[in-house]
Chains A and B, each alone.
Chain A
Amino acid sequence: MEAMAVESKKLYNPLMSKILKVDILTETEKRFEIILPEDQILGHKPGQFVEVSIFGYGEAPISICSSPTKTPGFELTVRKTGRLTDKMHLLEKGGQLGIRGPFGNGFDVEPFQKKDMLFVCGGIGLAPLKSLIDYTIAKRDDFGRLMILYGTKNPSEILFKEDIEVWQNQDDIEFHMTVDRSDEDWKGNVGVITTLIPPLKLDTSNTIATVVGPPIMYKFVMLALKSKRIPDENIYLSLERRMKCGVGKCGHCQINNSYVCQEGPVYPYPRIKQLEEAI
């Protein structure tokens, strides 16, 4: 190995971290506030993810839902969907989780300065976008309008209700939400998230749209944004894949020539258009 004087790294060792707080958000989602050993700061960018593990139950990629401005801990919103996340939901304050990361490319906020920000969040897609929403609120003066569109299947799936109440009552945030199917108590909009886009009055060339949601949502939201004439290069999407290793090796998250854990999960829309397997 003469020609390979490279410093190799221990890529798969987690930092055993402590759960500071657990909030029940819905029947299937909980929010965990976590702190790394010795109060180390995670140092993430909005939109990045960490690999979370519990020994014996495996590891999974989970988006960070808190703003980097909120320290020393960070937050993850986790839906119960399998062995690892079921086990996570049984953990309480003081419990331990293995953390690796942060990984991937998050939102680069530098080009967003002074722009109007449009957040389009479908279902649990609000969680990764919340790291950016909270960041823009914390640095409110650096941005133009903040517009949050949020859609869920039904009212019982609404996340971050306390935050939403604040957003709804704040003059410098425009918040609109809808549910696909209402229930008896629901008094708001009913319909898919794309119905929230046409009524918006936008300064299109000065608007940055960030979109996170289930795969099915992207195609329809892209059409709606296109009819609003938002330039492709002002649109950012975050993609969900099974990033098993987080370090660009295992291959599970690969979309054409892009490893989502390295180049993504946040992509500018023109790049997505080059990746046929993306959405």
Chain B
Amino acid sequence: MYSENIIKFDQMKRYFFDQDTSIKFLEYLIGKGTVIAPHKKGETSYSFKKVDDVNEVVFDYSRTIQPLKKFFLPPQETLLNFNLTDNSFSEPEVVEEKKIFFAIHSYEMQSIRRLDYSFTKGNPESNYLSKRENSCFIGISFEPDEWHFSKSVGIEIEKLEGFCLFFEPVENGHLVFEVNETGREMLSEFGAGVLVDTPLDFEITDKHFKAKIKYHYNRLPQVFEHVYHSKVWDKVAEKCVGCGTCNLLCATCYCFDVRDEVDLNMINGKRERFWDSCMLNSFAEVAGGDDFRDKLSFRTRHRLFRKFKYITEESGELQCVGCGRCSRFCPAQINIVDIINDLIVDYTEQQEKQVI
């Protein structure tokens, strides 16, 4: 598959940026809009945030703790401002600004495409879509660590869909590929007369994933058709502490809670939504206290079925993008790739029994 991308790259215009040029390019981008990029957060962690100092942008990173969704579906978001004295309300003002997301990994880009689907289908939601407008994405290649498995869910490191430009690290700098028209315009404005098309005689290092799902990603929805009653769910539930971190850090989880918060003056208040988690025990509770997913094994199953079957049945795409956050940050060291591979074993055994 890697060579296919090289061919794809080969048909694209590309330029060599040394570190200095990349920094200048970031400065140019800041002049065009709000630039959001990965930054260091502590010694070993990373976070997407607005770029104030171009020198603090990190090009080579494993993954941020919070996914990119926080810019389109913030952890806490005001839906309405209301006034208790006259029951009037208004929507929060939408700040119209161009947002440029820099140094984005392909799984992250694909997570946004998944969210686009969920917030567009049925009832298109203005809260999400208005934030999504005027945003463009500049991709970057990465070296997979032990938790990345995006290739196993069909997302190559160099999957370019959604990007306007793509950065590929080479010796002493990056090759910058012109993915679409927006990218072309950016580069021609930035480097008018300076940039020259670079021949592809740089060596791009091959990248390998350590974590792998045993079956082809197109087969996974079929596997999920047969594992609803698998014993794997109980096995996972024995370790799971039900904290919901996997949902909150998932690049494609979008369930939310809505609450009213009243100011201390008892006159004004806000109707707000918050990220919520289907792994928490109160999530599926109904009025009167009944809970139809009252076991951790049921809730784990629901979380995984949303990633590999329920939404996929409609959208045709797996919801899991293989970022590895749920495994990397799980306090109980539960690994999603292990769960899926265990389910595959269970499925294969079932199939063999049927043959006998």
Q: Do A and B come from one complex?
A: yes
Chain A residues with CB under 8 Å of chain B are 1, 4, 6-14, 16, 53, 55-60, 81-82, 96, 98, 214-215, 240-242, 244-245, 247-252, 254-257, 262, 276-278
Q: When A214-B288, A249-B119, A252-B255 are in contact, do A56 and B262 touch as well, CB less than 8 Å?
A: yes
Please give the distance in Å from A272's CB to the nearest CB on chain B. Answer: 12
Q: Are A8 and B292 in contact (CB-based, < 8 A)?
A: no
B293 at the interface (CB under 8 A from A): yes
B3 at the interface (CB under 8 A from A): no
A residues in contact with B127, CB < 8 Å: 11-12
Number of B residues, CB within 8 Å of A:
56
What separation, in Å, do the CA atoms of A254 and B254 have in the docked complex?
13
| Interchain residue pairs with CB less than 8 A apart (21) | A6-B129, A7-B124, A11-B126, A13-B91, A55-B89, A55-B260, A56-B84, A56-B260, A59-B260, A98-B87, A215-B290, A244-B257, A245-B256, A249-B123, A251-B276, A252-B276, A254-B278, A254-B284, A256-B305, A256-B310, A277-B302
Please give the distance in Å from A95's CB to the nearest CB on chain B. Answer: 10
A residues in contact with B335, CB < 8 Å: none
What separation, in Å, do the CA atoms of A11 and B132 have in the docked complex?
17
B50 at the interface (CB under 8 A from A): no
What separation, in Å, do the CA atoms of A10 and B123 have in the docked complex?
10
B133 at the interface (CB under 8 A from A): yes
Q: Are B126 and A249 in contact (CB-based, < 8 A)?
A: no
Of B79, B269, B293, which is within 8 A of A56 by CB? B269
What separation, in Å, do the CA atoms of A278 and B286 have in the docked complex?
12
Q: Are A257 and B313 in contact (CB-based, < 8 A)?
A: yes
Q: A11-B123, A59-B258 are in contact. List 19 more A-B contacts (CB 8 A).
A: A4-B132, A8-B124, A10-B91, A11-B125, A11-B127, A12-B80, A13-B80, A13-B91, A53-B260, A56-B82, A240-B286, A241-B286, A242-B285, A244-B256, A250-B255, A250-B276, A254-B278, A254-B284, A256-B305
Q: Are B125 and A9 in contact (CB-based, < 8 A)?
A: yes
Secondary structure at chain A's binding surface: helix, strand, loop or mixed? loop
Q: Are B293 and A277 in contact (CB-based, < 8 A)?
A: yes
Please give the distance in Å from B93's CB to the nearest CB on chain A. Answer: 14
Q: Are B258 and A251 in contact (CB-based, < 8 A)?
A: no
B residues in contact with A249, CB < 8 Å: 118-119, 123, 125, 254, 256
B342 at the interface (CB under 8 A from A): no
Chain B residues with CB under 8 Å of chain A are 79-80, 82-84, 87-89, 91, 116, 118-120, 122-130, 132-135, 228, 254-260, 262, 269, 271, 273, 276, 278, 283-288, 290, 292-293, 298, 302, 305-306, 309-310, 313
Q: Are A8 and B260 in contact (CB-based, < 8 A)?
A: no
Q: When A242-B286, A242-B287 are in contact, do A247 and B260 touch as well, CB less than 8 Å?
A: no
Most B CB within 10 A of own CB, among A7, A53, A214, A252: A252
A residues in contact with B122, CB < 8 Å: 247-248, 262
Q: Are A257 and B309 in contact (CB-based, < 8 A)?
A: yes
A residues in contact with B302, CB < 8 Å: 254, 277
B residues in contact with A6, CB < 8 Å: 120, 124, 129
Q: Are B290 and A55 in contact (CB-based, < 8 A)?
A: no
Q: When A250-B255, A251-B278 are in contact, do A240 and B260 touch as well, CB less than 8 Å?
A: no
A residues in contact with B228, CB < 8 Å: 276
Of B87, B123, B306, which is within 8 A of A96 by CB? B87
A residues in contact with B293, CB < 8 Å: 277
Of B84, B285, B292, which is within 8 A of A55 by CB? B84
Q: Are B292 and A277 in contact (CB-based, < 8 A)?
A: yes
Find the A residue at minimum CB distance from B162.
A3
What separation, in Å, do the CA atoms of A57 and B283 have in the docked complex?
19
Please give the distance in Å from A238's CB to the nearest CB on chain B. Answer: 13
Q: Are B124 and A251 in contact (CB-based, < 8 A)?
A: no
Q: Are B135 and A1 in contact (CB-based, < 8 A)?
A: yes
Most B CB within 10 A of own CB, among A10, A11, A251: A251
A residues in contact with B130, CB < 8 Å: 8
Please give the distance in Å from A101's CB to the nearest CB on chain B. Answer: 12
Q: Are B287 and A82 in contact (CB-based, < 8 A)?
A: yes
Of B80, B133, B283, which is within 8 A of A252 by CB? B283
Find the B residue at minimum CB distance from A16.
B87
What separation, in Å, do the CA atoms of A123 and B278 have in the docked complex?
29
Q: Are B82 and A55 in contact (CB-based, < 8 A)?
A: yes
B residues in contact with A60, CB < 8 Å: 287
Q: Are B269 and A55 in contact (CB-based, < 8 A)?
A: yes
Q: When A56-B262, A56-B269, A59-B258 are in contact, do A4 and B129 touch as well, CB less than 8 Å?
A: yes
Which 7 A-B residue pairings sit nearest by Cβ, starting from the closest? Answer: A251-B255, A8-B126, A8-B129, A257-B310, A55-B82, A247-B123, A8-B124
Q: When A55-B269, A249-B123 are in contact, do A1 and B133 touch as well, CB less than 8 Å?
A: yes
Please give the distance in Å from B82's CB to the nearest CB on chain A. Answer: 4
B residues in contact with A252, CB < 8 Å: 255, 257, 276, 283-284
What separation, in Å, do the CA atoms of A251 and B284 have in the docked complex?
9
Please give the distance in Å from B221's CB to the nearest CB on chain A. Answer: 11
B residues in contact with A276, CB < 8 Å: 228
Please give the distance in Å from A140's CB to the nearest CB on chain B. Answer: 33
What separation, in Å, do the CA atoms of A247 and B80 have in the docked complex?
17
What separation, in Å, do the CA atoms of A96 and B86 have in the docked complex?
10
Please give the distance in Å from B114's CB to the nearest CB on chain A. Answer: 13
What separation, in Å, do the CA atoms of A248 and B119 have in the docked complex?
9
Please give the distance in Å from B287's CB to the nearest CB on chain A. Answer: 5
A residues in contact with B309, CB < 8 Å: 257
B residues in contact with A1, CB < 8 Å: 116, 129, 132-135
Please give the distance in Å from B79's CB to the nearest CB on chain A. Answer: 5
What separation, in Å, do the CA atoms of A57 and B266 have in the docked complex?
12
Find the B residue at minimum CB distance from A123.
B288
What separation, in Å, do the CA atoms of A114 and B288 have in the docked complex?
36
What separation, in Å, do the CA atoms of A250 and B73 have in the docked complex?
12
Of B82, B84, B258, which is within 8 A of A250 by CB? B258
B residues in contact with A240, CB < 8 Å: 286-288, 290
